[in-house]
Chain A
C-alpha cells in the first residue's frame, strides 16, 4: 500500500505555493536568513521575559517551561475559515442542546438515538444537576474544538473540549509576537484580528448575570502551580476581573462572597478553571483544597452563575464524541457541516472485534484521557506495546475508543535553520451566550519531532500563529 499523500498547508503537490500563502512565501524569499534567525532568538527572549510559560506536571514543583514558538504561521483562506466557523457553531449549539436535554427531559435517550448507559455510566455525568435551571439554558460557554485536516484535504473534528479548554492566551500572545517582529507581513495582506477575544469572553460572561454591566465577575483558578495559571492570570487581567482562588471565596446564605480589603463582596458570575471534582469539597471530592464549600448549593439555587456549567463533561468525553453528528440531526434537524473522524466504540462488540484485529493500523485512546497520555498509536508502537495495550482493552473495553490513524496536515516549520514539514492541528475557541462568538483562527499546535503526530505541549509540541487571510 503506498503511503498516503500528506496534505501540505503551504504547498500544492508540485511544490508550488498555495495562493493564501503567497504573501508569506514572498516575504520569506526576500528576507535575509540572518534577520529571521535574529527574530527567532528575539521571540524566545521575549516569551521568556514576559513569562509565557506553563508548569509541567511530574517534574520538580515550580518547573516552568516555554512552549516552543515557530515563526511560520498556519494560514487559512477566509472561505475555509467561514466554513469551519459555521460547522463549529452548529456543533456547539447542538452540544449545548444536548447538555440541557441530559439534565432535563433526556428526549434523545427516549428517542433511542443515544443509549442510556452512555449518559448514566459516564463519570462526568452529574446527577446533582438534574432539573437545575442554568442561565439561558447554556452549559458550555467556553469551548475549544480540535480540528485536523486529513490527506483528503478535508477538515475533521477531532475532539470537543467543553470543560476548561486552555491555550487561548497563546493564540493572543503568538499574534502579538508576530505583529511585533514582522509588522510588514501584516501590512501586506488582510489578516483577521483576534485580539478582541477577551472582550467577547467578558460579554459572554456578563450575559450570565441578570445585572449585566453591574455584575461582579471573577475567574477562579486552582492557583499558580496549575499548568495553565499564566492563562488564567492573563485572561483576568485582559478582562479586568478579579483572579480568585478558592480560599478567596466563601458561601453564606447560598450566596457567594469574596474576601476583600473592604469586607465581603458578592460574586455573581464565576468563570471557573477548576474541574467539577474539585469545585466544592462539600459536594464532590472532600479532599479538595481548591474549591469553595457550599458552591454547588448556591449554584443550584441560582444565586451564582458558573461558566462552564457543572456537568458539561458528560458531552465531551471521547465515548460521547461519535454521537455528536446524531445530536446535530436530532436537535437542529440539520446535516453536520463538519465531519467526525470515524470512531470505534469498544463497548460495541463488532467494533471491539474489528479493533483487536487491526490494532496495528489504529489509534486507541482512553475515553477519559487527555493531553495525549495513555494512548496507543498502532502503526508506530512495538508489537510488545500493542500486546500490553490489548490486555488493557480486554480488561475494560468500555473505557476505550479507536480511530484510524489520521494523516494530519503539514506546515513548514523551522528545525534548526532550515524548514521541515511538521504535523499540526488547530483549536478554535468558541463562546456561547446569547449568540455564538468566535475569534477567527485559534491555536495551532505543531508536533516538533519528525513524523510525530503528538502535538500536545506536555509532550514537546510547539505552537504557531494562525492567520485567517482574506
Chain B
C-alpha cells in the first residue's frame, strides 16, 4: 500500500533515468557511426536516426533548420526545452525523487541529486573538450549507479517495484524503437549481405544495447540480421530484450496488482506469452516493422493501464 502520487513519482523517476541512459546510448552509437562515414552529407544523414528513435523529429524541426551532429547533440543532450533531452531527464528524475524523498533511500537521492548538480555544470563546449563519448559514458555510469544503488539499498516493497516497473517499460519501448529505426538494415537482402557497412551497422545496434558480447556468447557465430533480431526480441536472458523486459513488467504487475489492474495484468500476460512462444521466422514473415509497431502500441496500452489503475485509482466518494 502506498500513495498513488508517490507510486507515480517513483515510476517516472526510473523512466526518466532509463530514458537519459538510452538517449546517451543512441547518441553515442550515432556519434561513433558518423565517424566512420567520410562524406559530410552522409554523415549528417546518420543524425536522423536518434531523432526517429526518440520520436522527436517533429519538435526538433520546429527549432532547428538542419539535421547535423551539432544541432542534434544540443537538442537531445542539453536543450532544457526538450523534455526528452538528457538534461531535462536528469532534472525531471531529480524532481520526482525530491517529491518522494521519504520513499527512496538516501543513497538513491544522493545519486540523482549529484547527477543533476553535475549536469548543470555541463555544456557542449565541455563535452567536446572532454570527448563526446566521455560524456555519454558518464550518463550511462550515473544510470548504472542509480540502478545499482536501487538494487542494493531499497527494501523490496511496493516502492521498489514501481521503480522497476518504470525501468522495464521504458527500456522495452526503447529497444523496440531502436530495432524499428534500424529494421531496414535487418531485412535479409541479397545486396551487401556480409558487407562491411552492414556489419558495422549491426554491431552498432548491438552495442547500443550493450549486447554485442552477449551475441557472441549466445550464438558463437557471425552477426546475422535474423539472429540479431531474435536476440533482442525473443531471448529471455538478455536484459534489454523485449522478452526480458516484458517478463519483468508482467511479474512486477503481478506483485503490485490491485482490483483495478486485472485488465492491465492480463494484457501483459498475453504480450509475454507471445514473446515466450514467438518464432523469429514468423515475425519476419509478418514484417518486422509491422510487428514492432504493434508491440509499441501494446506497451503504450500497458503504460496507460498502469497510469489508470495505480496512479489515478477511482475511489468511491
Whose C-beta in chain B lies nearest to the C-beta of A232? B102
Whose C-beta in chain B lies nearest to the C-beta of A46? B110
| B81 interface residue per 8 A CB criterion | no
Given known pairs A224-B99, A236-B102, the reply for A262 and B5 (CB within 8 Å) is no
Verify B109–A258 contact, CB threshold 8 A: no
Within 8 A of B (CB), among A214-243: 223-224, 230, 233-234, 236-237, 242-243
Verify B117–A263 contact, CB threshold 8 A: no
CA distance A19 to B183 in the complex (A): 79
The interface-forming segment of B122-130, B135-143, B290-298, B309-317 is: B309-317
CA distance A420 to B106 in the complex (A): 35
Chain A 248-266 per-residue mask, 1 if CB under 8 angstroms from chain B, else 0: 1010100001111111110
| B259 interface residue per 8 A CB criterion | yes
Within 8 A of A (CB), among B217-266: 256, 258-259
Contacts of B6 in A (CB 8 A): 242
Whose C-beta in chain B lies nearest to the C-beta of A64? B98
CA distance A247 to B99 in the complex (A): 13
Given known pairs A51-B109, A224-B99, A247-B5, the reply for A263 and B259 (CB within 8 Å) is yes
| B79 interface residue per 8 A CB criterion | no
Verify B313–A242 contact, CB threshold 8 A: no
Verify B3–A258 contact, CB threshold 8 A: yes
Verify B101–A263 contact, CB threshold 8 A: no
| B158 interface residue per 8 A CB criterion | yes
| A244 interface residue per 8 A CB criterion | yes
Verify B102–A243 contact, CB threshold 8 A: yes
Distance to closest chain A CB from B7 (angstroms): 5
Chain A 105-131 per-residue mask, 1 if CB under 8 angstroms from chain B, else 0: 000000000000000000000000000
Whose C-beta in chain B lies nearest to the C-beta of A259? B4
| A49 interface residue per 8 A CB criterion | yes
Distance to closest chain A CB from B5 (angstroms): 6
Verify A50–B102 contact, CB threshold 8 A: no
Whose C-beta in chain A lies nearest to the C-beta of B314? A263
| B114 interface residue per 8 A CB criterion | yes
Verify B315–A261 contact, CB threshold 8 A: no
Which of the listed residues A233, A247, A250 has the most CB atoms from chain B within 10 Å of its own CB?
Answer: A233
| B1 interface residue per 8 A CB criterion | yes
Contacts of B3 in A (CB 8 A): 242, 244, 248, 258-261
Whose C-beta in chain A lies nearest to the C-beta of B105? A237
CA distance A49 to B113 in the complex (A): 7
| A48 interface residue per 8 A CB criterion | yes
Verify B101–A245 contact, CB threshold 8 A: no
Contacts of B106 in A (CB 8 A): 50
Verify A252–B102 contact, CB threshold 8 A: no
Verify A263–B258 contact, CB threshold 8 A: yes
Distance to closest chain B CB from A60 (angstroms): 14
Verify A259–B102 contact, CB threshold 8 A: no
Distance to closest chain B CB from A378 (angstroms): 42
Distance to closest chain A CB from B313 (angstroms): 6
Verify B101–A261 contact, CB threshold 8 A: no
Contacts of A233 in B (CB 8 A): 101-102
- Picked from A234, A247, A252, A261, the residue with its CB within 8 Å of the CB of B1 is A261
Contacts of A51 in B (CB 8 A): 98, 109-110, 113
Contacts of A263 in B (CB 8 A): 258-259, 313, 315
| B285 interface residue per 8 A CB criterion | no
In the A-B complex, the 8 residue pairs with the smallest Cβ-Cβ separation, listed nearest first, are A233-B101, A243-B102, A237-B102, A236-B102, A262-B1, A261-B310, A259-B4, A260-B1
Between A and B, 15 residue pairs with Cβ closer than 8 Å are: A49-B113, A51-B98, A233-B102, A242-B2, A243-B101, A243-B102, A248-B5, A257-B315, A259-B4, A261-B3, A261-B162, A261-B258, A261-B310, A264-B316, A265-B1
18 additional contacts (CB under 8 A) given A49-B110, A243-B102: A48-B117, A50-B106, A50-B110, A224-B98, A242-B6, A243-B100, A243-B101, A258-B3, A259-B313, A259-B315, A260-B2, A260-B3, A261-B158, A262-B1, A263-B259, A263-B315, A264-B315, A265-B1
